Structure 1
Amino acid sequence: MHAENLDLNLLAVFDAMFREANVTKAAQGLGLTQSAMSHALNRLRAFFDDPLFVKVGSRMEPTRKAEGMRAAVVEVMSTVRQQILAGARFEPALARRTFTLCMTDMGELVFLPPLLERFKKEAPGCSLRTLQVPLEQVEGLLASGEADLAVGSIRSAPEGLFHQRLFLHSFVTIASTRNKDIGATLTRERFESMRHIVVSLTGHSAESYDKVLEDQGIRRTVAVMTPHFLMVPLLMDRHSDLLATVPRELAEVFARLGTVRMFEPPVPVPQFQLNQHWHPRFHHDPAVVWLRDVMKHTFEHYPHISTQASPPARKSVRTKSR
């Protein structure tokens, strides 16, 4: 073995000669001058003590020795391109991969339509997959790479995750259009006297999305607790006496369907922020960096999202969760 004397760049020359069967075309494909290509080919011939490629008519045909080496060289070059070079950069227009996001059903409603539009224009070979999992599983999924990002209002995110704010949500209260007990406004007295739907991913009211109401001293009668935002209008359709306090953007979607009315809550309710979270293991992963930049660039002005895809921001501000 005298591998230390072989310039591994010459394998690219060998590979190009097999593909093109022409010195000039192979040189162009590698970005070399014809003189440099001929010099490299001569070095290959000297190393293997064989002509490797000989002129037959208008083509440079491989010798028997070159034919015997072909499969190994192709395998090496394929490994370099797919597993080494691909890790150094991410080219969305050429990539074929599935990105996985942990989010709620509300997150799907908010995030997926604009993201699908961006992917269609910028990364047509890539797809999206969503997971809705208990909070305690999020860190493990991000650490293993099974999920690329967790997106949403994760109030008690694990300490080890990075996070970045995307935008702020405000709350409104919704009621069925068939509810005749509520006039043009919703008073605190009426609000506290009615039954409520509460959305909590964990099943605990202390960790519900609208816990801020209790923090403001509001007393509610909870009729049902669910981890699914999209169940809210369905429950209201069957039980018109129910109320729910949900993010404004979600309420507007429900209102457009003509099944609910929106009201300002009876007390001021602070906004809450929607973040993207990722694991430090993938902080510098080119594909995940690209995805984070797309998320930030797409949603930083939500709900005023442009329908025209444009290049994502060069850098995103990354901070660790506190």
Structure 2
Amino acid sequence: MPDGNSTVLELHHLRVLDVLLREHSLTRAAQVLHVTQPALSKTLARLRRYFDDPLFVRVSHRMEPTPKALELAAPVAGILEKMRTLRTEHVPFDPKLSARTFNFCVVDAGLIKLLPPLVERVLNEAPRVRLNVMQLDGQHLEPWLESGTVDFAMGSFPSLVKGVRRQPLWMEEYVSVVNRGHPRLTATPTLKEFAAERHVLVSTLGVGHAHLQVERSLEQAIPPDNIICRVPIFIAAAVVAKHTDAVATIPLSIANTLAADLNLEVIRTPLKLPKIEIFQYWHDRFHREPGNKWIRSVFQSLFRKRS
């Protein structure tokens, strides 16, 4: 650090620099750090004064690091890693006493299945622990896991390979839902009847989730003119089906819940769709961290299907 500079840096300032080096965006960095963009800009101004360097310059829609910022990346990451080690390795994790917040990413289908039993379990075993679900971003999921921005992720992300561990939980199948009393479709429609209806598709393009395989299979079976809209979340597809005669094809694990809540009817999808294996993911750096081990054990006991 520069000598003789009156500006004092604290650990959270280094955390801001580390996140900006990964995100290349004030907006995304503010979301990751759970601060407002003006507050983040103020911290960046302090960092610029301290290091007497702009650190980041705007190029098109990205904040590109200067040579000085790139030079700082490794030492700053090293300091943060040492602090994480000091904080976790020598302090046992007691869920009954901990006030830790666990951050994780999951598609909304996972939320519907996971959150009710998970919240109940955490309230009973760890009443002060809090859960924070972050918006899924496939482009940044791997660096978020590596940095500890998210503690773990749930879903099916085949591209996650670099230093990321995984544990299988269950195999996901798909069914379709329609408004109860649909004027044409029965519980077991033929492929011709199914394809002739209007459909709302869930699109996870860009998030790296294996649901994309299912979306492509549906596109091959349904005429393009019959795909009336695409939505990014499964709940939205089910709501469209509730208020129209459209068909929504969604994971079996959430279909019954949404059908009961929205008065929908579950029907057989008359084409062979891929089955998707659902995992929980965490980075190797946090494999032995006590809190991470505890939350993973909770997910394993709640959701892992025994063969």
Q: TM-score range by the shorter chain?
A: 0.5 to 0.7
Alignment deviations for residues 192-241 of structure 1 (CA, whole Å, 9 cap, x no partner) = 112221112226999636236359x634432211111110122123322x
Please report how far the alpha carbon of residue 269 of structure 1 lies from its aligned counterpart in structure 2 after TM superposition: 3.0
CA contact (8 A) 2:239 2:262 kept: no
CA contact (8 A) 2:122 2:129 kept: yes
Give the aligned partner of residue 145 of structure 2.
142
Structure 2: which amino acid aligns with 1:274?
A: I
Please report how far the alpha carbon of residue 267 of structure 1 lies from its aligned counterpart in structure 2 after TM superposition: 2.4
Partners in 2 of 1:220 and 1:210 — Cα distance?
15
The answer to whether residue 205 in structure 2 is matched with residue 202 in structure 1 is: yes
The answer to whether residue 227 in structure 2 is matched with residue 227 in structure 1 is: no
Pick closer, same or farther for the CA change 1:154–1:160 going to 2, 3 Å: same
The answer to whether residue 192 in structure 2 is matched with residue 185 in structure 1 is: no
The answer to whether residue 269 in structure 2 is matched with residue 262 in structure 1 is: no
Structure 2: which amino acid aligns with 1:254?
A: L
CA contact (8 A) 1:134 1:202 kept: no
Structure 2: which amino acid aligns with 1:239?
A: T
Partners in 1 of 2:279 and 2:178 — Cα distance?
28
CA contact (8 A) 2:179 2:243 kept: no
Partners in 2 of 1:95 and 1:181 — Cα distance?
54
Partners in 2 of 1:85 and 1:179 — Cα distance?
55
Alignment deviations for residues 141-176 of structure 1 (CA, whole Å, 9 cap, x no partner) = 112211100111224334431111111111111111
CA contact (8 A) 1:200 1:225 kept: yes
Give the aligned partner of residue 167 of structure 1.
170
Structure 2: which amino acid aligns with 1:95?
A: S
Note the aligned Cα RMSD (angstroms). Answer: 2.7
Partners in 2 of 1:155 and 1:200 — Cα distance?
17
Give the aligned partner of residue 253 of structure 2.
249
Structure 1: which amino acid aligns with 2:133?
A: T
Partners in 2 of 1:87 and 1:227 — Cα distance?
42
Pick closer, same or farther for the CA change 1:206–1:133 going to 2, 3 Å: closer
Structure 1: which amino acid aligns with 2:281?
A: H
Pick closer, same or farther for the CA change 1:110–1:85 going to 2, 3 Å: closer
Partners in 1 of 2:283 and 2:91 — Cα distance?
19
The answer to whether residue 108 in structure 2 is matched with residue 111 in structure 1 is: no
Alignment deviations for residues 33-79 of structure 1 (CA, whole Å, 9 cap, x no partner) = xxxxxxxxxxxxxxxxxxxxxxxxxxxxxxxxxxxxxxxxxxxxxxx
Pick closer, same or farther for the CA change 1:206–1:280 going to 2, 3 Å: closer
Please report how far the alpha carbon of residue 103 of structure 1 lies from its aligned counterpart in structure 2 after TM superposition: 0.9
Please report how far the alpha carbon of residue 258 of structure 1 lies from its aligned counterpart in structure 2 after TM superposition: 4.8
Residue pairs, 1:24-173, within 5 angstroms: 87-173=90-176
Give the aligned partner of residue 41 of structure 1.
none
CA contact (8 A) 1:203 1:226 kept: no
Structure 2: state its 5+ residue gaps: 1-84
Partners in 2 of 1:97 and 1:288 — Cα distance?
11
Structure 2: which amino acid aligns with 1:237?
A: K
Please report how far the alpha carbon of residue 248 of structure 1 lies from its aligned counterpart in structure 2 after TM superposition: 0.9
Structure 1: which amino acid aligns with 2:183?
A: K
Partners in 2 of 1:179 and 1:203 — Cα distance?
33
Partners in 2 of 1:235 and 1:193 — Cα distance?
17
The answer to whether residue 215 in structure 2 is matched with residue 211 in structure 1 is: yes
Give the aligned partner of residue 272 of structure 1.
276
CA contact (8 A) 2:157 2:210 kept: no
Pick closer, same or farther for the CA change 1:237–1:288 going to 2, 3 Å: same
If each structure's helix is expressed as a fraction of its own residues, which one has the higher value? 2
Larger deviation: 99-108 or 155-164?
Answer: 155-164
Query: 2:159 is paired with a residue of what secondary structure?
Result: coil
CA contact (8 A) 2:139 2:206 kept: no
Partners in 2 of 1:151 and 1:207 — Cα distance?
13
Partners in 2 of 1:135 and 1:203 — Cα distance?
6
Structure 1: state its 5+ residue gaps: 1-81, 303-322
